[in-house]
Amino acid sequence: MSPDEVVGAIIAPAGATRRVQRVDLLQYLCQIQHQLNCIPAAAISQLAGALQISAAEVRGVIEFYAFLHEQPRGQYDILFSDNITDQMLGSRNLLAQLCKRLGAEPGIPRDDLRVTIDTTSCTGICEQGPALLVNGRVVSRLDNSRIGQIADLVESEVEVTEWPQAFFLVEDNIQRRDQLLSKQTADLSPDGSALHALLDYGETTLLETIEDSGLQGLGGAGFGTGIKWRRCKQAEADCRYVVCNADEGEPGTFKDRVLMNSYADSVFEGMTLCAGIIGAQHGLLYLRGEYRFLLEPLQQVLQQRRDNGLLGRNILGKQGFDFDIDIHLGAGAYICGEESSLIESLEGKRGIPRKRPPFPTTIGYLNKPTVINNVETFMAAAKIAVLGADWFRSSGTADSPGSKLLSISGDCKRPGVYEYPFGVTIRQILADCGAENTQAVQVAGAAGITLPITEIDRRIAFEDVATAGSFMVFNNDRDLLEMVQNFTHFFAHESCGLCTPCRVGGALLKDLVDKLVHGHATRHDLGEIETIGALMQDTSHCGLGSTAPNPVLDLLRHFPQLVEKRLAHSSYEPAFDLDAALQEARDISGRDDAGAHIEPFK
């Protein structure tokens, strides 16, 4: 097929009943990128014409998402996961090796357009990293030998589908089960038990059960699930939506990947339960682009549920209980985990966070009342519907009932997914996962909190250390400044660019942290870091900007001795290297004598 035909088949597949619509723009773009490895100019005009929007608008969407490219990146687009946990496992060195083997520069397509080698934000394979994506497929457990094989496969032009299947193996790695994943709960028939409960007891009772359970959003924010559902149900509207946030983008978290791999039925059951309670007929699961490998298996589960009468029209034979679920793909944008950005992205737009209020429960997807919950929350809700509020409250603390899945990676013997009742101490977690000589743990991801080992007795709970599940361990041999540098770069890269403090402040902070890491920062710079950090926390439009300075501010607060060691002795250091800045002039003039150099400012 010619590129034109590919695009034509994507926006108007033969026999399709769905009309071409603007809200599907991102999905069209994801498919075009997937099939053509780029989105050529002709495809942009074709799309703009079909959707009656401007080509600039289409480009604006393409340029927002890291996985969409106008320029060809070659037959093999290889993206090394660049989370700090990947780096700690040697990813940067492996990237350099592959570049050398293939004669490519990082980030630049090779001249023959065979391959581009680049980095990407955390791919959620932290406990079996280092990982990379090749044309959107995850390759886990990279090592020297695997890099060598990849170089050979690329040079000999072997299709990615023909690469050894072992490369693509992504295991669940569940290391500890508790309330939700225990054998008797997890094996509980996911094929309709919650929906039977809904039909038996009625939506009013079931909603009360969810409220009584005290279930709070397990995506990190901790908003009451019952009250969220009730508000959406009470909002006046002719239709409502249920959205599952599976944009698990927080660096270091991967538990939703495991739930969708092995417990998708329960997640969809939770969504259907919610739909039955609030009166929604349409659900959407927003799957991060990094998890594209889960798309087909998830679609199979959905089809099975349709075949079993658990989705579609008249669910379980009940007249008028109609609900179905679509899966939408993301395309490399951390901000889309923020619920209002996620809605914008579902509508096919740039993932810019909306103004709040109004909240999605009143004005959400397509401006209709929408419930958005995390993968884990929907699964927990499905179990609560069957086992009851008391069952759920029998675990956890008074303020944080239930359990939490943690994604544990970094310096420990047994990384993986651990389920604990809320209230568990950091001390116990570290002992269980086999962490030794621990210097610090980063809880709740890059946006979270850095805890020095002295705070080991703090607890995972909404009232103490709240988390969506990321838990990264750093031992005494690690340079925490590298972690801070990694996260600060991550946030600058992922800022949507809407508001001044995050867009500009994040970029300034990145440069200042680099200056600190390179040993050029002074006390004045530390003051500027504090000022910019506080400004971002106070004035940013959304949570990305207000949490972005956390890693560096935590470093200054808890590890002043590490910072002290890195300070330059002068009270002022220029932001750039004066001598290096003269290089261009030296090149032009052909001079390289002493007079063409400048001593560092002291």
Partner 1 sequence: MSDKNTFMLDGVAIAFNAGDTVMDAALRAGAYIPHLCHNPEFTPHGSCRVCIVDVNGRRRSACTQPAAAGLNVENSSDDIVAERRSLLQMLFVEGNHVCPGCEKSGACQLQAVAYHAGMLSPRFTHFFPQRAVDASHPEIAIDFNRCILCELCVRASNEVDNKQVFTISGRGIGSHLVINSPSGKLGDSNFAATDKAAHVCPVGAILPKHRGYEQPIGERLYDKQPVSIVGDVAAHENDAQGDDHDR
Examine residue 538 and tell whether it contacts partner 1 (CB under 8 A): yes
- Whole-number minimum distance, CB 8 to partner 1, in Å? 21
Ranges within 573-592 binding partner 1 (CB under 8 A): 575
Helices (H), 459-505: 480-494, 500
* 370 contacts partner 1 (rule: CB under 8 A): no
- Distance in angstroms (rounded) separating the CA atoms of residues 43 and 406: 42
Under the criterion CB under 8 A, does residue 511 sit at the interface with partner 1?
A: yes
How open is the CA angle 200-201-203, to the nearest 5 degrees?
Answer: 115
DSSP 319-379: TT--BEEEEEE--S-GGGGSHHHHHHHHTTS--PPPPSSSPTTTS-GGGS-EEEEEHHHHH
Instruction: Select 309 or 497, whichever has its Cβ closest to partner 1.
Output: 497
The yes or no reply on residue 514 touching partner 1 (CB under 8 A) is no
Name the residue nearer to partner 1 (CB basis): 56 or 580. 56
Start-to-end CA span in the chain (Å)? 64
369's CB contacts (< 8 A; 6+ apart) are 231, 232, 235, 237, 240, 241, 278, 360, 361, 362, 363
Residues 182-201 touching partner 1, rule: CB under 8 A, are none
The H-or-E segment that residue 473 falls in is strand 470-475
Residue 355 binds partner 1 (CB under 8 A) = yes
From residue 448 to residue 487, the character string flagging contacts with partner 1 as x (rule: CB under 8 A) and all else as - is ----------------------------------------
Considering only 531, 583, 591, 592, the residue that binds partner 1 (CB under 8 A) is: 531
The only residue of 85, 540, 547, 550 in contact with partner 1, by rule CB under 8 A: 540
Cβ proximity to partner 1: between 203 and 528 the closer is: 528
How far is CA 537 from each of CA 291, 533, 550, 558, rounded to the nearest angstrom?
30, 6, 8, 18
DSSP, residue by residue, 250-281: STT--HHHHHHHH-HHHHHHHHHHHHHHHT--
* Closer residue to partner 1, CB minimum distance, 63 or 152: 63
Q: How far apart are CA 542 and CA 536, in angstroms?
A: 10
Q: How far is the CB of 182 from partner 1 (least distance, A)?
A: 41
Q: Which is nearer to partner 1, 381 or 499 (CB)?
A: 499
The least CB distance from residue 531 to partner 1, in Å, is 7
Q: Which of 9, 36, 53, 158: binder of partner 1 (CB under 8 A)?
A: 53
* Residue 506 binds to partner 1 (criterion: CB under 8 A): yes
Name the minimum Å distance from CB 374 to partner 1: 24
> Please, which residue, 65 or 80, has the CB nearer to partner 1?
65
Query: Longest C-alpha distance within the chain, in Å?
Result: 88
- Tokens encoding 292: 């594209």
φ, ψ at 287 (rounded to 5°): -100, 125
How many whole angstroms separate alpha carbon 501 and alpha carbon 395? 41
Least gap, CB of 496 to partner 1 (angstroms) = 6
- Taking contact as CB under 8 A, which single stretch among the options 71-79, 212-220, 414-422, 497-505 is the one that binds partner 1? 497-505
Residues in CB range of 385: below 8 A, 6 or more apart: 193, 194, 197, 198, 206, 209, 210, 273
Number of neighbouring beta carbons within 10 Å of residue 181: 22
Asked if residue 550 binds partner 1 (CB under 8 A), the reply is no
Q: Hey, which residues between 397 and 416 contact partner 1 (CB under 8 A)? A: none
CB of 53 vs partner 1, minimal distance in Å: 8
Amino acid at 111: D
3-state SS assignment for residue 209? helix
Q: How many CB atoms lie within 10 A of CB 583?
A: 13
* Candidate list 35, 54, 182, 303; residue touching partner 1; CB under 8 A: 54
Give yes or no for residue 50 binding partner 1 (CB under 8 A): no
What is the x/- site pattern for partner 1, positions 312-351, by CB under 8 A? ---------------------x----------------x-
For partner 1, which is the closer residue by CB, 290 or 494? Answer: 494
Pair 244, 284: CB distance under 8 Å = yes
Instruction: Report the site for partner 1 in 5-34 (rule: CB under 8 A).
Output: none
Q: How far is the CB of 56 from partner 1 (least distance, A)?
A: 4
For partner 1, which residue of 20, 113, 316, 504 counts as binding (CB under 8 A)? 504
> Cβ of residue 494: shortest distance to partner 1, in angstroms?
7
Judged by CB under 8 A, which of 258, 346, 379, 499 binds partner 1? 499
495 binds partner 1 (CB under 8 A): yes
363 is an interface residue for partner 1 by CB under 8 A: no
177 binds partner 1 (CB under 8 A): no
Count of residues touching partner 1 (by CB under 8 A): 39
How many whole angstroms separate alpha carbon 283 and alpha carbon 246?
13
The conformation of residue 458, written as its DSSP 8-state character, comes to -
Q: Which residues bind partner 1 (CB under 8 A)?
A: 53-57, 59-60, 63-64, 333, 350, 355, 357, 492-501, 503-508, 511, 528, 531-532, 535, 538-541, 575
